[in-house]
Amino acid sequence: MTIYQTERLVVREWTHDRADIDRITDIYTRDEVTRWLPPRDFEATATVDRWHALNRRDHGFGVWAVEVRRSGVAVGTVLFQPIVGGDGEIEVGWHLHPDSWGNGYATEAARGAVERGFASGIKEVHALVMPGNDASMAVCRRLGMTTVGRTGRFYGVELEMFRLGAPAGISSGQRMPT
C-alpha cells in the first residue's frame, strides 16, 4: 500500500514478502546502521507486524518502506510518529541501507513525511539523532530543522534533538519551501 510518493521515491508499507523481510534483516543487522539506533531486539517478521499495528492505529503516522521508484528497491525506512515516552512530540526519522547512503533519499523521504504532517495540521516535528551521527544531523539541517540540544528523555539514551515548525501559511495540499 502506497502512503505517499516523491519525485524519486515511493513510500509504502513494509510487507511480509521475502524481498522485504530479507532487506529489513539486512538493514537492521548491520553495525553501521544499528550503531546509530537505541538498543533493541530485532526479528524482521515481528518488526513488520509491530509497524503494521502502528500504521493502523494512528492516522497519518507510521513506519514505512522507502522504495526507489526507478528500481523498485527498498532502500530503507522512514518513520513519522509520536515519540515513544514523549509528551505528544512528533518524530520524523530514517534508517537507510548503507548501499543507499549519499543519494538524498533520507532527506527526500523525510521531507515527504513532514509535508504530509504539516498539511494535516501538525504544528511542529522533531528528529532524534545519536551524537556523532553527522550524516543524520546534516539531513536535519537540509530539512530546515534547528538544534534543540541533547536530551535523555527518550529511548533510554542521550540524543540530539532537532525541531521544525510548520511554515506560516502551510495548509492542506501545499508543499514546504525547498
Q: Flag whether 47 is in a domain.
A: yes
151: containing domain: 2-165
Round to whole Å and give the CA distance between 163 and 126: 4
- CATH number where 27 lies: 3.40.630.30
Query: What are the tens digits of pLDDT across the range 55-88?
Result: 765 568 999 999 999 999 999 999 999 998 899 9
Q: What is the DSSP letter of 99?
A: G
Per the CB < 8 A criterion, the answer to whether 62 and 80 are in contact is yes
Q: What does the pLDDT look like over 20-47, one tens digit per residue?
A: 999 999 999 999 998 898 777 788 888 8
Q: What region, left, alpha or beta, does residue 173 occupy, with left being phi > 0 and alpha being psi -120 to 50 degrees?
A: left
Does 18 map to a domain? yes
Residue 136 lies in a domain: yes
Answer whether residue 103 is part of any domain. yes
How many folded domains does the chain comprise?
1
Q: Helices 44-57 & 18-28, crossing angle to 10 degrees?
A: 100
